[in-house]
């Protein structure tokens, strides 16, 4: 899609997506009159626009549309960012993911273009709000203007984060372009990052401070979310002291603590504090979760919440156990998974399975993140009608794991199911986008950048204490250890490709751990190609392709 078309489309979409997420904005007459010039004329109008921007941001996790703003029209597009890394293999998967798993992607591969479209849609919608905020003088309170600008600038930085990670140098656009343009150029990654940092620094000043403010709705941004993302952006710039300072702002602000006691909907049932975080309705602060910094709202049966096409992470990561005789779909077994990507043995291990070649994995025995509540290794037939098998154990084998994808150690944080509809596609579960454990790991990365492994170990050990794992020593603390710890804590939550690219370890880790790609991966695979549609539409100026993906014409 042409950049100009993205801008024009987003002007409408940022408003239209607001309709389903802003109570009281369902009047038929008002829908017919919806336009930026008659919407962005009051605080309420900007609330509508910002609500649409949150929805557009959540659309990264949308697949086929179905009542939500969608950009990808493919299954599990966000899992393309986990493929071809050191954690997951893509075998016999959806055709949209295979080019990423095999590193055969090209400038015409669909998700390559859809991420570009999604990111620039967020950016142009943020620019629309910023543009009209400067024209409006009708605010309910003196702070409204800066608050809306801070939210818009956060989302603009968030979208540029994706663009620089995926494509490197990209056009920087910070205003609405009403004139047709065919001569965009690629701004250097360093310039784009600097602009994103400026946006986030503004957001830290003007976003709300108190996440427990009764007027602040669940999922709304605070300045601490901006500081968390700012720490990561500083790491990308290799400004390690600034990254340290930003992370410490969050850690020391007094509003967030690592969850260390059982809480929420199942606190009296078997489990542990780590598994509690990933149960439905346990992501937001109202549940007792003191760790979540920013939560994307996908809750079930809620206006503006999720749809069957939102967040197919469960379908991507969970096995197809229901295809095995003796099993039937169950919410306790994770619902309906399709195993689009498979966890690698080297880190998850094969303990408790009958897989060929026992592998220890990277977890200590006492680490609760390796408990049966968090990694399901023991599978028991659950079909009561099959009396000969019911209650017996079904072993994981090489064939069940890597051939037919029916059974393997499963990450329970992605389990989701509902008795009334066990075939649900989407996960109607809020998604923690930023949480404090990752802030500690960003802090550790900042300390490693300053050659302070002792302080990095201290930061990591805060996370490991909660997990009941042995403390890491200064001698053990290096980037590879930190990358392993991020798997233990954040697998499937973090965008693994981004982490490996940011730390400069993408090629090394793929060669070391991804046996399918160790002889295929090349330096240029750290970036995706520029979408061919962008190159073709930019007719007045040559728009260079990324190295390794062919010429611009």
> 91-111 pLDDT, tens per residue?
988 899 999 999 999 999 999
Burial class (CB in 10 A: 0-12, 13-18, 19+), 90: buried
Is pLDDT of 396 > 60? yes
pLDDT score at 10: 46
Domain encompassing residue 166: 1-206+522-553
In a domain, 487, yes or no: no
Is pLDDT of 8 > 80? no
pLDDT score at 526: 98
pLDDT score at 544: 94
Neighbours of 305 (CB within 10 A): 17
In a domain, 404, yes or no: no
In a domain, 444, yes or no: no
- The per-residue pLDDT for range 32-47, each reduced to its tens digit, is 455 788 889 999 999 9
pLDDT score at 551: 58
pLDDT score at 418: 82
Mean pLDDT of 395-418: 94
pLDDT score at 36: 81
- The per-residue pLDDT for range 496-506, each reduced to its tens digit, is 999 999 999 99
Residues 6 or more apart in contact with residue 52 via CB below 8 angstroms: 13, 14, 15, 16, 17, 18, 21, 125
Mean pLDDT of 537-551: 90
Is pLDDT of 284 > 60? yes
- The per-residue pLDDT for range 145-154, each reduced to its tens digit, is 999 999 999 9
In a domain, 234, yes or no: no
Neighbours of 45 (CB within 10 A): 20
In a domain, 328, yes or no: no
pLDDT score at 428: 85
Give dist(CA 50, CA 126) in Å, integer: 8
Burial class (CB in 10 A: 0-12, 13-18, 19+), 359: middle
In a domain, 167, yes or no: yes
Percent of the chain with pLDDT over 90: 79
Question: How many residues are there in the chain?
Answer: 553
pLDDT averaged over the chain?
90
Cβ proximity of 358 and 397 under 8 Å: no
First to last CA, the chain: 17
Give dist(CA 168, CA 149) in Å, integer: 26
- The per-residue pLDDT for range 196-249, each reduced to its tens digit, is 999 999 999 999 999 999 999 999 999 999 999 999 999 999 999 999 999 999
Q: At what angle do helices 436-449 and 453-467 cross, to 10 degrees?
A: 160
Cβ proximity of 469 and 475 under 8 Å: no
Which pLDDT band holds residue 467 (cuts at 50, 70, 90)?
very high
Question: pTM of the prediction?
Answer: 0.93
Give dist(CA 329, CA 382) in Å, integer: 9
In a domain, 366, yes or no: no
Which pLDDT band holds residue 67 (cuts at 50, 70, 90)?
low
Burial code (b: 16+ CB inside 10 Å, e: under 16) for 148-162 equals: bbbbbbbbbbbbbbb
Mean pLDDT of 473-495: 98
Highest mean pLDDT out of 307-321, 422-436, 472-486? 472-486
Mean pLDDT of 336-345: 95
Percent of the chain with pLDDT over 70: 92
Q: For residue 171, give the CATH number of its domain.
A: 1.25.40.390
pLDDT score at 291: 98
Determine phi and psi for 366, rounding to 5 degrees.
Answer: -90, 0
Which pLDDT band holds residue 306 (cuts at 50, 70, 90)?
confident
pLDDT score at 34: 59
Determine phi and psi for 69, rounding to 5 degrees.
Answer: -70, 125
* Total tally of structural domains belonging to the chain: 1
Give the helix ranges, DSSP H, for 237-356. 240-251, 273-276, 313-317, 345-348
In a domain, 348, yes or no: no
pLDDT score at 368: 98
């Amino acid at each position: 899609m042409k950049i100009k078309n993205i801008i024009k489309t987003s002007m409408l979409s940022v408003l239209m997506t607001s309709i389903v997420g802003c109570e009281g904005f369902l009047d038929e007459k008002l829908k017919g009159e919806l336009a930026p010039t008659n919407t962005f004329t009051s605080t309420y109008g900007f609330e509508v626009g910002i609500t649409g921007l949150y929805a557009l941001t959540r659309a990264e996790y949308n697949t086929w549309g179905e009542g939500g703003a969608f950009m990808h029209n493919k299954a599990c597009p966000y899992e393309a960012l986990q493929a071809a890394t050191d954690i997951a293999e893509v075998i016999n998967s959806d055709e949209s993911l295979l080019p990423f798993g095999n590193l055969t992607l090209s400038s015409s591969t669909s998700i390559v273009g859809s991420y570009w479209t999604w990111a620039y849609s967020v950016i142009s919608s943020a620019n629309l709000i910023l543009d009209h905020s400067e024209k409006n003088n009708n605010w309910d309170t003196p702070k409204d203007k800066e608050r809306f600008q801070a939210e818009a600038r956060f989302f603009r930085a968030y979208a540029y984060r994706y663009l620089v990670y995926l494509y490197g140098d990209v056009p920087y656009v910070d205003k609405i372009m009403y004139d047709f343009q065919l001569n965009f150029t690629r701004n250097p990654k360093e310039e784009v990052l600097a602009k994103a940092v400026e946006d986030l620094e503004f957001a830290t000043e003007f976003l709300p401070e108190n996440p427990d403010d009764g007027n602040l709705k669940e999922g709304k941004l605070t300045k601490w979310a901006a500081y968390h993302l700012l720490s990561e952006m500083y790491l990308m710039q290799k400004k390690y002291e600034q990254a340290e300072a930003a992370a410490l702002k969050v850690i020391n602000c007094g509003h967030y603590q690592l969850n260390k006691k059982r809480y929420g909907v199942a606190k009296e049932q078997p489990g542990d504090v780590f598994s509690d975080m990933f149960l439905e309705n346990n992501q937001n602060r109202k549940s007792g979760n003191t760790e979540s910094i920013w939560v994307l709202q996908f809750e079930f049966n809620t206006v503006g919440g999720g749809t069957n096409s939102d967040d197919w992470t469960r379908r991507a990561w969970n096995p197809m156990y229901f295809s095995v005789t003796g099993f039937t779909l169950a919410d306790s077994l994770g619902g309906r998974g399709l195993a689009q990507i498979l966890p690698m043995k080297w880190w998850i291990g094969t303990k408790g399975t009958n897989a060929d070649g026992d592998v220890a994995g990277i977890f200590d025995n006492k680490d609760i993140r390796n408990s049966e509540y968090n990694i399901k290794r023991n599978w028991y037939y659950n079909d009561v009608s099959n009396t000969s098998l019911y209650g017996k154990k079904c072993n994981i084998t090489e064939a069940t794991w890597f051939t037919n994808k029916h059974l393997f150690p499963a990450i329970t944080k992605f389990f989701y199911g509902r008795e009334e509809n066990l075939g649900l596609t989407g996960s109607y579960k809020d998604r923690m986008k930023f949480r404090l454990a990752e802030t500690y790991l960003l802090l550790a990365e900042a300390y490693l950048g300053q050659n302070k492994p002792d302080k990095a170990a201290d930061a990591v050990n805060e996370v490991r204490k909660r997990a009941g794992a042995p403390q890491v020593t200064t001698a053990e603390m290096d980037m590879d250890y930190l990358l392993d710890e991020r798997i233990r804590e954040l697998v499937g939550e973090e965008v693994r490709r981004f982490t490996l690219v940011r730390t400069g370890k993408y090629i090394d880790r793929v060669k070391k751990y991804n046996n399918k790609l160790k002889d295929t991966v090349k330096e240029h695979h750290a970036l995706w190609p520029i979408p061919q549609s962008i190159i073709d539409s930019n007719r007045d100026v040559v728009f260079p392709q990324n190295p390794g993906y062919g010429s611009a014409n």
